[in-house]
Chains A and B, each alone.
Chain A
Amino acid sequence: MLRVALRGIRAHLVRFLLSLLAVALGVAFVAGTFALRSMLSGTFDGIVEASTPADAYVRGLDPAADASDDGDDGGTAAPAGGPGAAFGSASPGVPLTLIEAAAAADDVAAVIPVIQGSVVLVGADGTAVAAGQAPSLALVYSADDPSITLLAGSAPVGDGEIALESGALAASGLAPGDTTTVVLGGEIREVTVTGEVGYSASFAGATLVLLPQDVALAVYAPDGLVSQLAVFGADGATQDDVVASVTRALAGLDAGDAAAAGVEVVTGEDVVQENKDAIGTVLGFITTFLLVFAAIALFVGAFIISNTFAMSVRQRMREFALLRAVGASPVQVFASILVQAAVVGLVGSALGVAGGLGLVELLRAVLGSMGMELAGDVPLDAASVGLSLGVGTLVSVVAAAIPARRAALVPPVEAMRDDVTTPEAPMHRRLVVGLVLALGGAAALAAAMLRPDSGRAGLLLGVGAGAVVVAMLALAPAIATAVVRVLAWPLVRALPPMGRLARGNVVRNPRRTASTAGALMIGMALVGAATVIASTTQASVADVVAQEVDADLVLRSAGAGIPAGAVTDVRALDDVATADAFAFAALAVAGPDETGDGGDTGDAVAPAAGTIVVGATPGTFGRTMTVTTVDGDLATLADGLAAVNQTVAGEDWRVGDTLRITSSTGSHEVQVGAVVTSQGIGGSVVVDADVLDTWEPPQAQVIDTVFVRGTTGDVEALRTEVAAAVSPYIVVSVMTSDEFVSDLAAQVDQILVILYALLGLSIVIAVLGIVNTLALSVIERTREIGLLRAVGLGRLQLAATITIESVLTAVFGTAIGLAVGVGLASTLPTLFADQGLSQLAIPWGSLLAMLALAVVVGVLAALWPGVRAARLRVLDAVSYE
């Protein structure tokens, strides 16, 4: 029987090649995901190791995290780049005064303060140097630092000199000796590039600017606090030796020295590990996200595989009956088909693994050309390969099991029959199951919508959406006939014989039509939902801006925030009435319940280390920004009180509560004076800018947005003036309110593009599925095609018939998928009104474009089967067995 099975594959190579391709595409995505993950983690691990070269680190002791010091908040101390670094850290800073004591300890060669500040470097072409999304960072240049080497030129000394890391130097187009502009700590400086510096590993495209230690400290640590001190040990000293001796040295300081009490000393290895763990968590999210798409791809691939086997089994019913008649048992027939499926699965998966690696290599090349160098090792281990192969094979075998069962149960007498038809099982059960699922799903959604604030709304939404999607797949065969008849009506009218023939073929086997369209249904349901969510978000954003913002101009920055100097310069303009800035700082904020002075009650709720605290220019509210006050009075901001933004922070904190804020300067308390709701303020807590400045140095804050009002009302003139004022700062863009809205919308679109790219894959697989079904049904209908040709159907007409068939299938899948996706997404505004989705917007234009795309997909999918059918020689077709 094994031989029969393998012969079967050889004899029907075309149809097996198609299922092979389906498996391969699905598996390529799975393997690619794994490969991408290990490549990214390799790259980031490299960065972590390169940026954590010291033997030991002295860092502030996080008062909240010491209860659970297993490093679950390792991100707080992350010295590696990333936007978090620009926000400053939430743990208290380390006083620079400790350097001396630490440096005097045994086994210590050098102690260097760690600075990673945001910076703008202007390249030779006058624009800011930036590689993709990678940050630009200012670091300390110290001759004592063993992790850096001066490759060319001289070390930077004093205010007017910087050195550049090799990558940054190349990207900037500058050379040692050139002068250029940098924006340091919000101020513009003219500097000379004195040298080129090499690091032990790549920073994945981050632009690194090195400053003399005194300059860096003056700019980024004006209050004498840095996030960490890097301690390099003397030759021969282990990391543990260094930690021990530094700890001893610091303990030996004046016992009452509060500064020394608030710090801890850890080994470099520990810091590396903490950071790797933190990155691992983030990568875990990305991997999960990608694997979801891989699962969709495989699921969709399974449809094709099962369709292929179902059709090939149908066509070979007589062969199976014959095998049964000559004595094969049902189990043998069943097994022979499963063997075929396993071979297809294994070979397809192997191709897929190779394809996945190819995809990742391609991605690496693309990113490399954009300046992001990724780690170079082979990014796939045996376990991932095994898993990919296993998943692909399993999916194939499972997909083939149902058709195989049908084949196994064919009665031997069927072999004698002329025309073997397997009667279509009635759809009652399917209808009942589908309707129950659909109703259940709808009920869950309704429940979620009725009580959006209950904790279970999210779960209900997920379960409901899942049930509706499954119901869609279950009901599709039952509704296929009716829907296709409606869709086909104009075509039957316009192209009588072709339209009618095509419609007949599509509704002939509704199950097949439905499962062929299933891939598109799933893909398009996701696309539809994503499109609605995106346009809803955009509409909501526009709504928020319209409601909350009343400014002539909006300043934003493409880099890490707007330089403070730019704000000062804009304020100084004659025609500017006000320039209201929103500065962000990520601090640890604890409410009254969480502060707990009992100590031993084991305050379970550790305050979020990265709560965004917003510092607003005094008088902003009621001037350029209007928010809804729930309780209290925003005027209390002027008295140094805080406002809590319920939209982000939730309803835990009330007016009169005292919040405890932990920043690099230590612990601070503030009373809540108002509770507001605002989509526009991206933070939980709002205070006056002056208050925030006392908590966190301005250099550690990020100015996100500035709202500008003019005195004259001539927006164009104001714009010209403001644009001229901020142009030296390079990274600041000046927008009108409308442009601001479309800028925000464009950010949503960017996310959507990634989503579309991923969903594109499921559409590729869907096209493949239609090709597959059409090609097989052309084979199945060979005699009929011969007959049509014999009575005078031309080749083009035949090809047109098959194309219409394909388009009908594609449009059917797309229409159903979009309807379900849009329907599901429409429930979101009710559910997430307070998360910013206030305005349901259904992008009819995009949806129509999707339908047009479906027509294109249908035409494309019909090309090959159509040509194949047209090429059939009439006589061969007429006498085809």
Chain B
Amino acid sequence: MTASRPAASPIASARGLVKVYGGGDTAVRALDGVDVDFGRGRMTAIMGPSGSGKSTLMHCMAGLDRPTSGSAVVEGEEIGRMNERQLTKLRRTRLGFIFQAFNLVPTLTALENITLPLDIARTPVDRAHLDAVVQAVGLTDRLGHKPGELSGGQQQRVACARALVARPAVVFADEPTGNLDSTSSGEVLGFLRRSVEDLGQSVVMVTHDPTAASYAHRVLFLADGRLVGDIADPTPETVLATLGSLRRTGPRHAAPAEASPSSSPTAS
């Protein structure tokens, strides 16, 4: 279905992305030459064992970290070459973030947290859009509360609303449901998926949970800093099967492409 949609230009892409932490004997190649395109108006999940470089990839794509080599492009703009001021502007206007925890400023109310990016950018609030987003996350009656008075699930939904309210080009979410039970996870993921379907958002999300991954249009698999798998229109079953086959081949990158059910990681 959505996979058959004509592939517009990708919203973000990486070419030969390498990230090395440290140096000498203790150097860690967290990303080891990653080429990937994230589809516009699509929800992409990234999976992989712990330490495989998922967060690193996301940080490099979002301009939170600088790659050692290679390029990361968001909406046609090379972010590796941006200075701090440009990066701040990019984050403020073009990107949305959802972290695993500590997403909200404790001194601000839920509503103030949601409109924070707009306040910072001094952009006037689009009431209708705000209402739509707040309605979608189901927080209408909780807007005056401080984060400390909200449950973990509610906090993550506030974070989602905040990430979406400024209509960013792409939302990066690092294990957004890592701390939530299955019901709350379902609400958050459903909301993210709807934002893609209804509002045309692009979302990139890291997760360990096959069910969460199955909300996405596409799942990428990382191991030892390389792309080792890529499936479209996942179900929990196909995700589990792919994880299983990857685990059997072992986390060596002897033959990543062969192990991948899809022929080319960069195809979308």
Decide whether A and B assemble into one complex: yes
Please name the 4 residue pairs, one residue from A and one from B, whose CB atoms are nearest each other, closest first: A792-B92, A504-B107, A497-B119, A792-B91
Which A-chain residue is minimally distant from B66 (CB atoms)? A875
- List residues of A (763-798) whose CB comes within 8 Å of B's CBs: 783-784, 787-795, 797
A324 sits at the interface (CB 8 A): no
Query: B93 to A792, Cβ gap below 8 A?
Result: yes
Query: A784 to B121, Cβ gap below 8 A?
Result: no
Additional pairs, 15, CB under 8 Å, beyond known A789-B88, A790-B91, A792-B91: A501-B105, A501-B107, A501-B108, A504-B105, A508-B107, A783-B102, A784-B106, A787-B103, A790-B64, A791-B116, A792-B88, A793-B120, A794-B88, A794-B92, A794-B120
Query: B91 to A791, Cβ gap below 8 A?
Result: yes
Give A327 Cβ to nearest chain B Cβ, in Å: 30
A618 sits at the interface (CB 8 A): no
Query: A504 to B65, Cβ gap below 8 A?
Result: no
Query: A792 to B99, Cβ gap below 8 A?
Result: no
Query: A792 to B120, Cβ gap below 8 A?
Result: yes
Which B-chain residue is minimally distant from A502 (CB atoms)? B107
Query: A500 to B91, Cβ gap below 8 A?
Result: no
| A497-B120 contact in complex given A794-B85, A794-B88, C-beta closer than 8 Å | yes
Contact of A875 among B64, B101, B103 (CB under 8 A): B64
Give B105 Cβ to nearest chain A Cβ, in Å: 6
Contacts of A878 in B (CB 8 A): 64, 99
Give Cα A788–Cα B117 distance, bound, in whole angstroms. Answer: 9
Which A-chain residue is minimally distant from B84 (CB atoms)? A795
Contacts of B89 in A (CB 8 A): 792, 794
A624 sits at the interface (CB 8 A): no
Count of interface residues, chain A, beta-carbon cutoff 8 Å: 25
8 A-B Cβ contacts within 8 A? Answer: A501-B105, A784-B106, A787-B105, A789-B88, A791-B117, A794-B89, A795-B84, A874-B64
Query: A784 to B117, Cβ gap below 8 A?
Result: no
Mark B101-132 against chain A: 1 for CB-CB distance below 8 A, else 0: 11111111000100011011110000000000
Give Cα A795–Cα B116 distance, bound, in whole angstroms. Answer: 16
Work out how many contacts link A and B, with CB atoms closer than 8 A.
72
Query: A795 to B162, Cβ gap below 8 A?
Result: no
Give Cα A507–Cα B97 distance, bound, in whole angstroms. Answer: 27
Contacts of B102 in A (CB 8 A): 783-784, 787
- List residues of B (193-226) whose CB comes within 8 Å of A's CBs: none
- List residues of A (783-839) whose CB comes within 8 Å of B's CBs: 783-784, 787-795, 797
Query: A508 to B106, Cβ gap below 8 A?
Result: yes
Give A315 Cβ to nearest chain B Cβ, in Å: 15
Query: A797 to B120, Cβ gap below 8 A?
Result: yes
Give B108 Cβ to nearest chain A Cβ, in Å: 6
Most buried by A among B84, B93, B104, B122: B84
Give B132 Cβ to nearest chain A Cβ, in Å: 20
Which B-chain residue is minimally distant from A784 (CB atoms)? B105
B142 sits at the interface (CB 8 A): no
Give Cα A137–Cα B237 distance, bound, in whole angstroms. Answer: 107
Query: A504 to B84, Cβ gap below 8 A?
Result: no
Query: B108 to A504, Cβ gap below 8 A?
Result: yes
Contacts of B120 in A (CB 8 A): 497, 788, 791-794, 797
A146 sits at the interface (CB 8 A): no
Give Cα A875–Cα B97 distance, bound, in whole angstroms. Answer: 12
A63 sits at the interface (CB 8 A): no
B59 sits at the interface (CB 8 A): yes
Give Cα A797–Cα B85 distance, bound, in whole angstroms. Answer: 12
Contacts of A508 in B (CB 8 A): 106-107
Mark A631-669 against chain B: 1 for CB-CB distance below 8 A, else 0: 000000000000000000000000000000000000000
Query: A505 to B116, Cβ gap below 8 A?
Result: no
Give Cα A875–Cα B103 distance, bound, in whole angstroms. Answer: 14
Give B164 Cβ to nearest chain A Cβ, in Å: 12
Query: B105 to A788, Cβ gap below 8 A?
Result: yes
Contact of B97 among A497, A783, A784, A791 (CB under 8 A): A791
Most buried by A among B59, B64, B104: B64
Give Cα A790–Cα B168 distance, bound, in whole angstroms. Answer: 13
Mark A603-630 against chain B: 1 for CB-CB distance below 8 A, else 0: 0000000000000000000000000000
